[in-house]
């Protein structure tokens, strides 16, 4: 059974009603439990839980330190291409947006690697738009092989692939793949993704399963906050995480639910999430799954990222660029979205250490294989 089979008859509106119907008694019951189910998660994500955020924060800190220690992983993205055949109405890489397009050559990739290595990183997240005719599986596999002599860990955030293609990526040296559903609202999904590969809801939804089946070490999952009602979105993400940990328990999981940032095209969010609500979502996930990794990107503000270091986050990006070639030749015309927190890695490291946490620049090594 695939995850799509478990939710295809689950109405978005009914889940929303269920979340908003939760009471303080439901919240207190969830907070008293060590192991939570989906109904408990709904209670913690509901408006009724807003009076209990302090307790949720303390529990989140406790569980995170028990599982991960007082350690934060710093990561950095390397954009290989902004070519895209999709028409996602909210994305700066939208095929219709009149922006300059670029796909890095081998020489340009090596130049980017040199700069990233000088920052202290020993792991890298490779990203592309979704345009297989320009930056397809052969190109991405080759990019991994270019990177493998320079980094202990290589991660991907690219277009969905077949299981056998993910096995190729693993053989080349990839140990993590991140894929975000953007929104779990199937009825509205086509509105946001009218054309291109990404317009196929169930194909994208099944991607984490194919990644796990290929033996990839870590699967990253998430949703983009700003498209649909966030409490419902988070509930479906929790359901997806629960399905994956049950059926693919040998795989590690990471979550991210970034809030929308300004980008080419000027799309404005439909549903806003405040920093307080972001905190509630993060703590609900930590109480729901003590072992899941949670990352926070440079989309969020400096103040917000500083405050979450000790409260449930396990990794943050620093010094990021979202334009291909941006570390050697910055060009805002090539960006996927505008960065919010532009601090360099050493500044971030100093902030994290000031809070009593250690910093690591990699959490995986091929010698462990």
16 Cβ contact list (under 8 Å, min separation 6): 229, 231, 232
Give me the pLDDT at residue 298, please: 83
Residue range 59-87, pLDDT digits in tens: 999 999 999 999 999 999 999 999 988 88
Instruction: State residue 13's pLDDT score.
Output: 97
What value does the mean pLDDT take over residues 11-32? 98
Is 325:108 a contact under the CB 8 Å cutoff? yes
Give me the pLDDT at residue 332, please.
62
- The whole-angstrom separation of Cα 318 and Cα 296 is 10
Q: What is the pLDDT of residues 1-20, one digit of tens each?
A: 899 999 999 999 999 999 99
Task: Give the separation between CA 58 and CA 309, rounded to whole angstroms.
Answer: 13
**Residue 7 neighbours by CB distance under 10 Å:** 18
Q: Judge whether 340 and 261 are in contact, CB under 8 Å.
A: yes
- What three-state secondary structure class fits 289? coil
Fold annotation for 3-363? TIM Barrel (3.20.20)
Q: What is the pTM of this model?
A: 0.94
pLDDT at residue number 19:
98
Averaged confidence pLDDT in the chain? 92
Q: Taking the chain, what is the end-to-end CA distance rounded to the nearest angstrom?
A: 30
d(CA 29, CA 47): 15
Per-residue pLDDT, averaged over 268-297, amounts to: 93
pLDDT tens for 157-169 read 999 999 999 999 9
- The answer to whether 150 and 189 are in contact (CB under 8 A) is no
pLDDT: which is higher, 306 or 340: 306
What pLDDT, on a 0 to 100 scale, did the predictor assign at position 235?
Answer: 98
Q: What is the average per-residue pLDDT within 283-295? A: 97
């Amino acid at each position: 059974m695939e995850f799509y089979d478990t939710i295809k008859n689950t109405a978005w509106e009914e889940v929303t009603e269920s979340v908003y119907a939760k009471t303080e008694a439901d919240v207190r019951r969830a907070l008293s439990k060590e192991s939570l189910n989906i109904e408990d998660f709904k209670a913690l994500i509901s408006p009724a839980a807003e009076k209990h955020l302090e307790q949720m924060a303390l529990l989140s800190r406790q569980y995170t330190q028990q599982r991960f220690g007082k350690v934060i992983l710093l990561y950095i993205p390397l954009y290989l291409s902004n070519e895209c055949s999709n028409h996602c109405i909210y994305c700066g890489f939208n095929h219709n947006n009149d922006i300059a397009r670029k796909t890095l050559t081998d020489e340009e990739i090596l130049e980017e690697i040199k700069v990233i290595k000088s920052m202290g990183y020993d792991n890298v997240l490779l990203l592309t738009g979704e345009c297989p005719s320009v930056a397809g599986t052969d190109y991405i596999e080759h990019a991994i092989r270019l990177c493998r002599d320079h980094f202990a860990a290589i991660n991907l955030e690219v277009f969905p692939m077949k299981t056998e293609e993910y096995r190729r990526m693993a053989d080349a040296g990839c140990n993590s793949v991140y894929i975000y559903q953007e929104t779990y609202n199937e009825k509205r999904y086509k509105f946001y993704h009218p054309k291109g590969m990404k317009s196929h809801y169930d194909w994208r939804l099944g991607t984490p399963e194919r990644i796990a089946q290929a033996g990839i070490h870590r699967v990253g999952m998430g949703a983009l906050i700003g498209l649909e009602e966030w409490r419902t979105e988070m509930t479906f993400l929790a359901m997806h995480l629960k399905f994956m940990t049950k059926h693919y328990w040998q795989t590690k999981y990471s979550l991210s639910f970034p809030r929308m940032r300004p980008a080419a095209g000027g799309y404005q969010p439909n549903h806003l999430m405040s920093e307080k609500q972001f905190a509630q979502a993060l703590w609900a996930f930590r109480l729901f799954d003590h072992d899941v990794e949670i990352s926070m990107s440079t989309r969020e503000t400096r103040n917000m990222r500083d405050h979450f270091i000790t409260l449930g986050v396990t990794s943050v990006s620093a010094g990021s660029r979202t334009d291909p070639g941006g570390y050697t030749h910055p060009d805002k015309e090539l960006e996927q979205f505008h960065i919010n927190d532009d601090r360099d890695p050493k500044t971030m490291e100093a902030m994290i250490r000031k809070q009593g946490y250690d910093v690591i620049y990699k959490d995986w090594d091929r010698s462990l294989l």
